Amino acid sequence: MNPGKCIIFSAPSGSGKSTLINYLMEQAQETLNLHFSISATSRAPRGTEQDGVEYHFLSKEEFIKRIQEDAFIEYEEVYGGKFYGTLKSEVEKQLEKGENVVFDVDVKGGCNIKHHFGERSISIFIQPPSIEELRKRLVKRGTETLEQIEDRLKRASLELSYADKYDKVIVNDQLEVAQQETLQVVKDFIDSVSPEPAADTQAE
């Protein structure tokens, strides 16, 4: 059995990343053997969330211990002192089973995962047609105040500066076109033959 590959998605909020990933999973989860990466978090489970299903739930102390052990490909501390991260061991288990692992992460996390897995991964950046169009989408969504939207747009400008660090940029202008492009890019990557690693081509 061939080891699996990594498909990394990042985008500014409101770019339609979740919509495109959901389409990809609906259309090709079984045919392309796609499985989500399950992140670790130090927050408590909510509602019916189960350990190993929605997240790997760790105590804050255990999470910090894992950081010190270099157990994460990437991690971040968010509001309220809560930690989120991607465990190397968990992703490797999925890849060894031949699963193709889908990541939905921020730009820094995406770059770290790409650096870690190299040619075993493809990084895809979902880009809005423009900042103005992004503003319209966020306003239309109606879930945030104008102040919160402006904060998101400032963050989006920073995130857009990472686009050229990604293997593929898909502009989500017309949704159906972006859906087909996303599906084709992922299919082509999974179907491609990975080069055999050589001793003199390892990461420097």
pLDDT tens sequence across 65-95: 999 999 999 999 987 789 999 999 999 999 9
Number of domains in the chain: 1
Range of the domain at 165: 6-192
For residue 199, is it within any domain? no
Average pLDDT (89-117) is 95
Tokens at 41, concatenated: 């978090």
Look at residue 201 and tell me if it is in a domain. Answer: no
> Is the residue at 163 inside a domain?
yes
- State the Cα torsion 175-124-18-91 to the nearest 10°: 150
Mean pLDDT across the chain: 91
The answer to whether position 197 is within a domain reads: no
pLDDT score, position 48: 93
Query: CA separation (Å) from 180 to 28, 84, 95, 133, 191?
Result: 11, 31, 25, 21, 16
Tell me: the pLDDT tens digits for 153-162? 998 999 999 9
The answer to whether residue 202 is domain-embedded is no
Q: Give the CATH number, domain containing residue 144.
A: 3.40.50.300
